[in-house]
Structure 1
Amino acid sequence: MKSNKYLILKGCAGLGNRLLALAHAIEYAKATDRILHVDWTDGMYNAPEENVFLEFFTLEDVNWAPTLPPHLKEESVEVFPKVFKGNLDKNIYEFYRTKPGSRWNLAKGWMLTELKESWNWWDGLMVWLLGHQAAYKDFLPSGSTLSKSLESEVVIFADYTPPMLADTIHQHIRLAPKIQSIIDDFASDHFDSDVIGVHVRNTDMKPKNSLISLIHRLKETHTAQAPIFLATDHQPSQELFKVHFEQVILTDKFLPEDQVDGGLHKWVSYHGKDQVAAPTKQTVLLESIRDMWLLSKCPKLYYQGNSSFSRLAVTLMGSKKNATNWDE
């Protein structure tokens, strides 16, 4: 019997977070016999209401729909959580703010982690007895902990940093053909069997170890003449590598000279319009995808373990045998 129930994955945060959440949404849709729709219209990597996912990715062996049927917007359609009823085109941030790793809290109304004037002993008792989801119909658990017994015709799915599902990523998530061609062409033109991939995230997610210690380690293990493919979000880090290594392979991308506190995707959203040379949001997404997949094509990879971006590059390699966490 053909499924007529839907799971809508709402995009949030950066590329790594989105791909981790996508893998969990795929497994949830399979387990509950729902049609998956990936909604990245939140405006982080595109103009609001443009679903940038469709331009860069596709799914294989998954029951998914690039667009939603119009009837789902009707009042008779049951949606979980109810705050999205009639609001399926709204992004997650219009109703919720995140507490990473646990749950989504309503930005309006009940805030389960904040005591408000209307909070009383009865509210606390209901939460304790029934659980957050039963006590408050608009409560939204993180996707990786979402109940699989929900009966609503449409279920909204969102997550921030769920665990890695490597097999799901390998089996189902694919780049759009034109994006895959860009990556394959770059690797063919610039990579050989000796290239060493290095990822340095040094804006919103800084390493514990110093870059100098990483550079010394690379020189001791591979020499200063080794070809290094460097993927970084930090211009000073890029310049430091160019001083210490003769062959630093870089993709052509924009790195701001001023301080970046929230990652490049947030910097472009908040500050990019003030700089003539700043890229578009979609360009930043393309550059991020390109770097992640190119890192995965390197025979040897030094990754930064506290970054989901880095860990996904390792997952895309297919084996951790030649991957080293330089920030342990």
Structure 2
Amino acid sequence: MSTVSDARQSLRPSPANDTAPAGDQAPLPHGVRPLLIKAKGGLGNRMLAGVTGVILAQLGGRTPVIDWRDGLYLPEGTNLYPLLFRDPVRIDPACYDGSTCVAPALWSGRLAEQPVSIIARHFPDRHSSPFIYRRLSIPLAGPDPLARVGVFWSYLPKLARLRGRLHADRRFDGRSLDAITQDMLHRYFTPNDRVRQTVSRLFAGRHRPIIGVHIRFTDRKVPLAKIERALAKLRERSPASDIFLATDSAEAQAYIASRFKRVFTIDKQLAEDGAALHYSGTQMGDPLREAENAVIDMFALAECDWLIHSRHSTFSVAASLIGGIPAKRQIDVDRLNPKVVVKRWFQALA
């Protein structure tokens, strides 16, 4: 197995809008009606849910302001989003922290807080409810609220609940949800230069086709035996192919590397004990670099010709959409798992 290192220096927090000096924020435009898009969960969840927020903002005539100050990788209060991606809006969500004309009203004067703390205060027994996001967000249906500041948050994407409004809007009518999502991912989640350059170097000189494999094996475990069988069959069809492996687990990486040749990965921190790495309390030598590594993994998967994964993971779903990998070149190892299929259907429509 080969591990690719980009030999970067430790990264310091600075916005990823590489055309402007670090910390140079555009002045707050007069008359802006923002929709603050809050986040919870891993990278795939917040990106795909963020797309729902961006589209909801556009449907309501608001400006989408992505607010990832919830403590993913970095300490709570630091907005991770503009450190990883080019922010086309470039409005600091902290500008609105003291706002009181807010919808939903429970965010009034508390916009520096994040969904977890709001739920703990108002709905302490509903942290796991699939419907709780409705209490923390402006409505997906009906007219946009009059409040100057709106808030959207959902743990998962909710575009399926916007179908009616999308069909009624000429910007979206006639387009599939996947096509709309892909477009918004490209507009609002273009990685910073360091990530893009690393992905480019990772694939330089490699022969096609390249098989991408995503294995989540910490807080949720993809069945390794199913991954192995799917990979063996695909490798038999294309014996000269290289394999790019993206995983959060040292155990899963060792498992695949011991069974297949020409597996390449990036140099990153891996979980040894099954615990998810992406929360700020986790011991990481360079949290921002590890956040970038997650983005590199996702966009490297997007560059692959084939993708073996479980669609139960939003991380690999986001990668497939970013890369435009057609369904016929994806092998979903959980496609026949009724529990996973029903859960995904319910979550999309809840």
Task: Tell me the TM-score normalised to structure 1 length.
Answer: 0.75
Within 5 Å, which residues of 2 pair with 1:28-107? 28-60=56-88, 64-68=89-93, 70=95, 72-73=96-97, 77-96=100-119, 107=120
The Cα of 1:45 is off from its aligned counterpart by: 1.9
Distance 1:144 1:186, change over 3 A: farther
Task: Tell me the amino acid that sits aligned with residue 180 of structure 1.
Answer: R
| AA in 1 matched with 2:277 | L
Label 1:157 to 1:232 Cα distance change in 2 as closer, same or farther (>3 A): same
> CA-to-partner distance for each residue in 1:107-144, whole Å, 9 max, x for gaps?
22456869xxxxxxxxxxxxxxxxx99xxxx9725578
Paired residue type of 1:251:
I
Does 2:35 correspond to 1:7?
yes
Larger Rg: 1
In 2, Cα distance between equivalents of 1:306 and 1:186: 26
Change (3 A) 1:85 1:65: farther
Letter in 2 for 1:150: P
Q: Deviations over 1:76-109 (max 9, x none)?
A: x41112232222212222211xxxxxxxxxx224
Distance in 2 of aligned mates of 1:300 and 1:161:
25
Counterpart code for 2:304: C
Matched to 1:281, the amino acid is P
Counterpart of 2:209? Answer: 194
Relative to structure 1, is the Cα distance of residues 41 and 174 closer, same or farther in structure 2, using a 3 angstrom cutoff? same
Asked if 1:155 corresponds to 2:150, the answer is yes
Give aligned pairs, total.
281
1:218 and 2:234 correspond? yes
More strand by share: 1
| Match of residue 264 from structure 1 | 277
Which amino acid is 1:50 matched to?
A: T
1:326 partner amino acid:
V
Please name the residue that 1:117 is paired with.
Answer: none
The code of the aligned residue for 1:108 comes to R
Change (3 A) 1:73 1:293: closer
Q: CA RMSD in A?
A: 2.9
Matched, 1:180 2:196: yes
Aligned partner of residue 156 in structure 1, secondary structure = strand
Does the 8 Å contact 1:5/1:34 carry over to 2?
A: yes
How far did 1:14 drift? 0.5
Partner of 2:300: 294
In structure 1, the partner of 2:330 is: 323
Q: State which of 238, 244, 247 in structure 1 corresponds to 2:262.
A: 247
Return the letter of the residue paired with 1:297. E
1:60-82: CA deviation from partner (whole Å, max 9, x where unpaired): 5xxx3431485x4556x411122
Residue aligned with 2:204, SS: helix
1:20 to 35, 44, 48: 48
TM-score calculated relative to the size of structure 2: 0.71
Which whole-Å CA distance do the structure 1 matches of 2:49 and 2:59 have between them? 15
Superposition deviation, residue 48 in structure 1: 1.9
Please say if residues 79 and 155 of structure 1, whose CA atoms lie closer than 8 Å, have aligned partners that are also in contact: yes
Query: Which residue is equivalent to 2:173?
Result: none
Any unmatched runs of 5+ in structure 1? 97-106, 115-131, 273-277
Aligned counterpart in structure 2 of residue 168 of structure 1, from 164, 178, 184: 184
Aligned counterparts of 2:123 and 2:274: Cα–Cα separation in 1: 35
Identity percentage over the alignment?
25
Name whichever of 167-176 and 22-31 sits farther off: 167-176
Segment of structure 1 superposing worse, 295-304 or 152-161? 295-304
Q: From the superposition, tell whether residues 147 and 40 of structure 1 become closer, same or farther in structure 2 (CA, over 3 Å).
A: farther
Q: Deviations over 1:179-210 (max 9, x none)?
A: 22222222226x33232111111222222562
- Is 2:228 the counterpart of 1:228? no
- Any idea what SS the aligned residue of 2:258 has? helix
Q: 1:34 Cα deviation (Å)?
A: 1.2
Give the equivalent residue in structure 2 for 1:122: none
Return 5+ residue gaps in structure 2 as ranges: 1-28, 159-177, 336-350
Q: Distance in 2 between matches of 1:242 and 1:143?
A: 46
